[in-house]
Amino acid sequence: MFQYFYHERIRKSVATFGTIFNDIHVQRTASNGAVLNQTKVPLAYAPKDKYLERIRENPSLIDDTKVALKLPRMSFEITSLAYDPERILPKNNNYIQAYSTSSTESNKIYSPAPYTIFFSLNIYAKLQDDALQIVEQILPYFNPQYTLTLKPLVGFDTIKEDVPITLQSVNFQDDFEGSLEQRRTIIYTLDFGMRVNFHGPIRRSKVIRSTTANIHIDKASLLTSGADSDGLYVKQITTPNPANATPFSDFGFTTVTEYYGDSSQ
């Protein structure tokens, strides 16, 4: 039943989701509005508990410029996958794609399995204004969804599909431990759902270059029709024109009709 294939669908989804948020900046301004500095917010694929544990174990990491971890920053992770029955298509639906430059073979791609991948994006900040800057750079693009166009199958650059990413909820947490001067971690959690399609193995098949249609008549009419003993009355053979045409070129058809009985009937 099973055979090896790998379209890197989940891997591409993770990379695509992270790419959306990898160019967010935070600015510090003076009272007159002049920009004092601008910092790019780091982004990593990691669970929220990982960062919270590091901050709680060593609070100095927040302000220590000698270490890699400092706030503000962001992390994201996959939280779950769920089947999406609203987008299901008939399983035998398929479409054909050319196989390399071959004119005798083609690839048959069947309907995919629709799923929703749920992501959680976590925003960590020490200052409320830093967190608000990040959140406000994200929310306007999700109203409530943002759609990307991706190439879902490796080696098939002509196949593209739209992938909607929906913002489902925004949660806020102001984490205090001890006095405000000692430690404060502001956390915004944004939950997203990405609609993706999982394709199965691609079937390679021969190109049909000739079809034959036989028309038979009932046995009671055999004596008067001139048909053969099996009742074959007309045979039609259809071939592409030109004969060496590929499934994706502009071509017509040539039909040859052979009569085994009286063609005037």
Residues 70 and 139 in one domain: yes
pLDDT digit string, tens, across residues 5-59 = 888 999 999 999 999 999 999 998 888 878 888 899 999 998 887 777 776 665 5
- Identify any residues that bridge with 232 across adjacent strands, giving them in sequence order: 216
- In percent, how much of the chain has pLDDT > 90? 35
- Contact residues for 53 (Cβ-Cβ < 8 A; gap 6+): none
Tens-place pLDDT, residues 45-95: 988 877 777 766 655 545 554 444 578 899 999 999 999 999 988 888 777
Is position 101 within any domain?
Answer: no
Per DSSP, the residues of 165-225 read EEEEEEEEEEEE-S-TTT-EEEEEEEEEEEEEEE--PPEEEEPP--EEEEEE--GGGHHHH
User: Do 170 and 201 meet the contact criterion of CB atoms below 8 Å apart?
Assistant: no
Same-domain pairing of 225 and 189: no
Residue 4 lies in a domain: no
User: Once rounded to an integer, what is the mean pLDDT over residues 226-236?
Assistant: 65
What is the spatial distance between Cα 187 and Cα 124, in angstroms, rounded to a whole number?
Answer: 5
The total number of structural domains in the chain stands at: 2
Question: Is residue 95 assigned to a domain?
Answer: no
What is each CA distance from 247 to 64, 96, 111, 118, 156, in whole angstroms?
63, 9, 20, 39, 16
CATH of the domain at 129: 3.30.2000.40
Domain end, chosen from 150, 169, 195, is at: 195
φ/ψ of residue 223, rounded to 5:
-70, -35
Tell me whether residue 94 is in a domain: no
* Domain of residue 36, residue span: 9-84+111-195
* Angle at the Cα of 18 from the Cα atoms of 198 and 133, rounded to 5 degrees: 140
Residues 75 and 132 in one domain: yes
Whether residue 99 is contained in a domain is answered as no
Per-residue pLDDT, averaged over 245-256, amounts to: 77
Choose the final residue of a domain: 173, 195, 217.
195
What predicted TM-score, i.e. pTM, was given to this entire model? 0.72
Tens digit of each residue's pLDDT (9 = 90 or more) over 197-219? 999 888 777 777 788 888 776 65
Residues 48 and 157 in one domain: yes
Considering the domain architecture, whether residues 180 and 74 belong to the same structural domain is answered as: yes
Q: Write down the pLDDT at residue 102.
A: 55
Q: Which of 150, 171, 195 is the last residue of a domain?
A: 195
Q: Which two tokens stand for residue 88?
A: 């299901």
